[in-house]
Structure 1
């Protein structure tokens, strides 16, 4: 089940609200310019699957999303609990950063905690299989795959070079992680 926890930056230990209904999550995020949808993720993929296998299994949906929304680049995160670099991959996403492009993240399997720092609030979205989150360029964010990861997600970017740039702010370390 997808969950949205909304925190004020001054109180990272206590969420102001916790939402579990899809419509409530989608409308709360929409107020911040973030899209939240559900798409069928019917093709079984295991965490740790190779990028080509993931993209091939979801080629039709990826092509449709790219055509409808004007995105031009893709990548995959596919990490299982036995991945030899799981700790390094987790650390890579845990610091607050911004992308130089609009980003769509389509969750194919497993789950991850996607946190968005917008104004004085942090919107921590527990995303699971079938969730699609659309984040505008420049949104401050971090992502946690957990201590025992099981996640497969396809990312789409509106620019070929939508690289992440660290903000240098320590805020992400103050908020609950996926396993907390």
Structure 2
């Protein structure tokens, strides 16, 4: 189940909000310009291709594209494996997204499978949104944030872009991401 945890950016030890209530999550995120919702999950094969994921969610994707003007949609999938290349690839990808950054474009993601945490640093607060399968989130352009996929990432995510450049991060150089609860710690919070 989705989890929202909010801290003051100077006190990573004491959350001011921690909730799984969808209405509260939406009410907290909306004033930040963050769109958050849920899509009904569709049946996907064990290792779905990009085309299979896009076809399964065509109606929802078309609606988002029409409402937000996106012109590029892709799928990112990562699944645990005993292959040594998985560990290296996962660690490299995780480290890249763990660094605080911004984008000139909105960052919209739908989780068709698995989970990940978006950390948004806005107005002196850090908002950690632990997204699970079915969640769709839009982080507004120029919002300072980072993403944690955990030490053993597993997800299938649909991404939306306004241009063909795709994911381009403008890194802040801050180490704030190292101070707050990780994906693995938030995944352990009881439901």
**TM-score where L is the length of structure 2:** 0.86
- 1:164 and 1:45 map into 2 onto residues whose CA distance is 31
Q: 1:8 maps to what in 2?
A: 8
* Pairwise CA distance, 1:12: 1.0
Q: 2:183 maps to what in 1?
A: 178
- 2:140 and 2:15 map into 1 onto residues whose CA distance is 23
Aligned runs of 1:21-170 on 2, under 5 Å? 21-46=21-46, 49-82=48-81, 84=86, 85-161=89-165, 163-170=168-175
Rate the CA distance shift 1:45–1:169 in 2: closer, same or farther, 3 A. farther
Q: Identify, as 1 or 2, the structure richer in helix.
A: 2
- 2:169 and 2:72 map into 1 onto residues whose CA distance is 14
* Pairwise CA distance, 1:10: 0.7
**TM-score where L is the length of structure 1:** 0.91
* Pairwise CA distance, 1:9: 0.7
Secondary structure, counterpart of 1:31 in structure 2:
helix
Aligned residues: 179
Whether contact under 8 Å (1:100, 1:161) holds in the other structure is: no
- 1:30 and 1:45 map into 2 onto residues whose CA distance is 34
Whether contact under 8 Å (1:45, 1:54) holds in the other structure is: no
Whether contact under 8 Å (2:9, 2:124) holds in the other structure is: yes
More displaced 10-residue stretch of structure 1: 5-14 or 53-62: 53-62
- 1:140 and 1:74 map into 2 onto residues whose CA distance is 22
- In our comparison, the structure showing a higher alpha carbon Rg is 2
Over aligned residues, Cα RMSD in angstroms?
1.7
- 1:28 and 1:101 map into 2 onto residues whose CA distance is 22
Whether contact under 8 Å (1:112, 1:146) holds in the other structure is: yes
- 1:79 and 1:126 map into 2 onto residues whose CA distance is 17
Q: 1:17 maps to what in 2?
A: 17
Rate the CA distance shift 1:166–1:44 in 2: closer, same or farther, 3 A. same
Unmatched segments (≥5 aa) in structure 2: 186-191
Unmatched segments (≥5 aa) in structure 1: none
